[in-house]
Amino acid sequence: MEQRKENKMRTMPEGRLLLGMSIPLCISMLVQAFYNIVDSIFVAKISENALTAVSLAYPVQMLMIAVSVGTGVGFNALISRKLGEKRKEDAVAAANNGLMLMLLSALAFCLFGIFGAKPVFGMFTADEEIRALGTTYLSICCTFSFGVFLQIGAERILQSQGQNTAAMASQLIGAVTNIVLDPILIFGLLGFPKMGIAGAAVATVAGQIFGMLCCFMMLMLGKFEVKPSPKGFRPDKEVVVSIYRVGVPAIIMQAVGTVMNLMMNALLIAYTPTAVAVFGTFFKIQSLAFMPVFGMTTAAMSIIAFNYGAKMPDRVLRTRKLALTAALCWLSLGMLCFLLFPATLLGMFEASETMLGIGVPALRIMCLGFPFAAIGITNGTIFQGLNRGLYSMIVSLIRELVVLVPVAYLISMIFGKLGLIWWAVPIGGVVSALVSMYFFGKVKKEQIVPMQAAQNN
């Protein structure tokens, strides 16, 4: 069994391998995006203020995902490399230490949910209704965040071994749970109390916890090469450092989105709260386009990390080329949908005439950055698989903080027009794509070409 799995990662044609590993992950990520959108659709039926509150809470939720996914990327890549090097015990140690880090991170967000949610909302709006709604929603999501942390941790252990179908199943189970509970708890159906925005939060964490339980059950009962085991476990400083060598840049890379959203919300709310709702809605909708790319590039990262550890550079390069081509095609299609149907997309969120007036041109402008984002995302994931997570972090920082936010503020100061601020999004995408191509040239020259030369000698 173990040899067969190794042969698949080592010998299967890259296109077929990437497709087979990507499909479950892409479906899983699409489901994740879909049930996030469903949350907002149901919340929008409460009121536009409720939608604005959820949009203001979204950056903190993004930070939670950034920490969980970034840490998961760290031990996913480490497990894959150790399996490629045929060091199973080291791979198991990476899984154990990775889950320990997930639990500690969940504890930190739990404390934030209890003590920090209300002060955060007080910083961004004086509207009492928005503050009350947002505090309720965010405190529940953070306090019970152990579900999402442990679910993502277990999924990454499975994905590092090419077992993406099991990870997809847990996502589907969690998503269906959330989608079913949303209307029941928000509107008080089937004899349940009407909980409003608190119901949306409870449905979210319930789905995450149920998905976590199912994922661990599949992981522990299945015949997989690497399983976490508490027996004899001791925290290992060297393993933790190895995880965070890739994981911290990945966390920062994703967390910059949180900072960017917070700063953009502070800028946009000065014009109108509706602009915040538009910006938050855009990021929810765009996840339908981006999540499959994240799923596909995560599969590519596992393949690349394994084959880099196995000293097979040609497979590394072919996998990267296939992943980049697929990402460009998919996000170009996504851009076309945003250009042609912006009013339809916003209409899913009970958009008022005011929201449509602001949102339709905004979506058409911001989506122009999609193809450039495909280049940056793909290259960034490849850097993680090659243990160059710092490059991924720099590319993300350039896209969302070094370029996007300053450009948005400059446009606001110089022109004072809300409609021009949206151009900062595609501008950030263009600059980061160029930087990522430069870094890929360096990585290829320093890591891949010498390995090819050693093979040919």
Tokens of 354: 């005011």
Per-residue pLDDT, averaged over 378-393, amounts to 83
Task: Report the chain's mean pLDDT, rounded to a whole number.
Answer: 86
304 φ/ψ sector (left φ>0, alpha ψ -120 to 50, else beta)? alpha
Confidence class of residue 212 from pLDDT cuts 50, 70 and 90? very high
Confidence class of residue 119 from pLDDT cuts 50, 70 and 90? confident
> What's the CA gap between 306 and 267, in Å, rounded?
43
Q: Is residue 349 within 8 Å of residue 324, measured between CB atoms?
A: no
Q: Is residue 320 within 8 Å of residue 338, measured between CB atoms?
A: no
Tokens of 233: 């476990």
Per-residue pLDDT, averaged over 310-320, amounts to 86
Residue 64 φ then ψ, to 5°:
-60, -45
Q: Which of 65-74, 197-206, 220-229 has the lowest mean pLDDT?
A: 220-229
Of residues 358, 277, 354, the one with CA closest to residue 52:
277
pLDDT at 436: 93
Residues of the chain with pLDDT > 70, as a percent, come to 96
Classify residue 436 as exposed, middle or buried by CB count within 10 Å of its CB (0-12, 13-18, 19+). buried
DSSP assignment string, 44-60: HTT-HHHHHHHHHHHHH
Per-residue pLDDT, averaged over 11-21, amounts to 82
Please state the pTM of the whole predicted model. Answer: 0.71
- Does the pLDDT of residue 232 top 60, yes or no? yes
pLDDT at 187: 93
Q: Where are the beta strands (DSSP E) in 89-183?
A: none
Per-residue pLDDT, averaged over 181-202, amounts to 92
- Does the pLDDT of residue 130 top 50, yes or no? yes
List pLDDT tens digits, range 323-369.
Answer: 999 999 999 999 999 999 999 999 888 888 999 999 999 999 999 99
pLDDT at 455: 77
Most confident of the following: 161-165, 208-212, 216-220: 208-212
pLDDT at 83: 80
> What's the CA gap between 254 and 393, in Å, rounded?
8
pLDDT at 197: 92
Q: Which of 168-177, 326-335, 430-439 has the lowest mean pLDDT?
A: 168-177
What is the C-alpha end-to-end distance of the chain, expressed in Å?
A: 33
pLDDT at 82: 82
Confidence class of residue 1 from pLDDT cuts 50, 70 and 90? very low
Residues of the chain with pLDDT > 90, as a percent, come to 35
Tokens of 4: 């067969």
